[in-house]
Structure 1
Amino acid sequence: MSTAHPHDKPVKIPGPDHPITIERHPSRVVVRAGDKVVADTRAALTLREARYPVVIYVPREDVDMALLERTDHATYCPYKGDCAYFSIPSAGERGVNAVWTYEQPYAAVAPIREHLAFYPDRVDAIEELPADAISA
């Protein structure tokens, strides 16, 4: 019988060859999908990882969770941990697994806990507005 624990996954620490930085995003971020505002925050985080595109993470409290539906889809990142997904039903087929979150992120990326990220091509818009912009 194997003694390997099912959660024995490789864990990697960000470093010079694979840097990860997380900073407070300077702008107000509004995410729209399926003709609805899914998220509106002034407290987003910007995650830069190696050569990947920049990812904006929105605090869960600033997301309309009623518009999201958890899916069974899951992935794993050796730098960030287990990743869970949500769909945006109002966005139709395009909105399937459009949102991801690391609910128990590794220590190196702990600030993204309780935050959600959106695939830009699966939502209508991820708008970056001046932080003092008034809602239209």
Structure 2
Amino acid sequence: MTPDPVGPGQESVWDYPRPPRIEPSTEEIEIRLGGEVIARTRSSYRVLETSHPPSYYLPRDAFGAGVLRPVEGTTFCEWKGQASYFDLVTAGRTASRAAWTYPSPTADFAVIRDHLAVTPGLVDACLVEGELVRAQEGGFYGGWITSRVTGPFKGGPGTLGW
């Protein structure tokens, strides 16, 4: 694997650390589903991990009333702890298990308690500063690909061993 070239104003996911780093973001984040804006904020966190585009964690209060519906099942992240999931619901559409949170994150990720991440490929649109996000390939990861980041990105065929 050879990292893609990095241009002005870009960052390579191959310069992100492992274990991941978390950093605050004041970029405008918007999530759309069923013809509605279901979340918007300028106060989120980016989780940056080697080979992955950033995942954005939005405060729970960035989501509209009635949009979050808890669902059964959890997963475990060696860095962040146990995740719980939500369907995202509007009058026009439901996105099953499209959002997740860490109710009791590890100490290193305590700032994302009461924050949720969204898988961009499961909703109508995610935007960062008005730029439409491309979803990270694969069914497991929830990275947000913008023109700001270069890959290649883990998640597609043949990348699981990275």
TM-score range for the pair, normalised by the shorter chain length: 0.7 to 0.9
The answer to whether the Cα contact below 8 Å between 1:28 and 1:42 also exists between their aligned partners in 2 is yes
Mapping 1:11-26, distance limit 5 Å: 18-26=18-26
Looking at structure 1, the residues matched to 27 and 128 of structure 2 have their Cα atoms a distance apart, in angstroms, of 6
| Pairing 1:7-86 to 2, within 5 Å after superposition | 18-86=18-86
The residue aligned with 1:8 is: none
Partner of residue 117, structure 1: 117
Give the superposed CA RMSD: 1.8
8 Å Cα contact 2:19/2:79 also seen in 1:
no
**Identity level (%):** 33
For residue 88 of structure 1, give the secondary structure of its aligned residue in structure 2: strand
Flag structure 1 segments of 5+ consecutive residues without an equivalent: 1-15, 131-136
Report if the CA contact (8 A) 1:73-1:97 is conserved. Answer: no
Rounded to whole Å, the distance in 1 between the matches of 2:17 and 2:122 is: 30
- Alpha carbons of 1:35 and 1:75: their partners in 2 closer, same or farther (altered >3 Å)? same
Q: Alpha-carbon deviation of 1:65?
A: 4.4
Taking structure 1 as the reference length, the TM-score comes to: 0.76
8 Å CA contact 2:30, 2:37 repeated in 1: yes
How many residue pairs were aligned? 113
1:41 CA drift (Å): 0.4
Q: Give the letter aligned to residue 37 of structure 1.
A: V
Q: After superposition, give the CA deviation of every residue in 1:73-96 in whole Å (9 maximum; x if it has no partner).
A: 21111211110000023333xx10
**TM-score normalized with structure 2 length:** 0.64
- After superposing on structure 2, the runs of 4+ consecutive aligned residues of structure 1 that deviate more than 6 Å are none
Q: Counterpart amino acid of 1:72?
A: E
Pair 129,75 (structure 1): closer, same or farther in 2 beyond 3 Å? same
Structure 2 spans left out of the alignment, 5+ residues: 1-15, 131-162
1:5-56: CA deviation from partner (whole Å, max 9, x where unpaired): xxxxxxxxxxx97231111113111111111111110101111123222101
Which structure carries more helix by proportion? 1
C-alpha change, 1:65 and 1:85, in structure 2 (3 Å) is farther
Mark the CA change 1:62 to 1:31 in structure 2 (over 3 Å): closer, same or farther.
Answer: same
Secondary structure of the 2:97 match is: coil
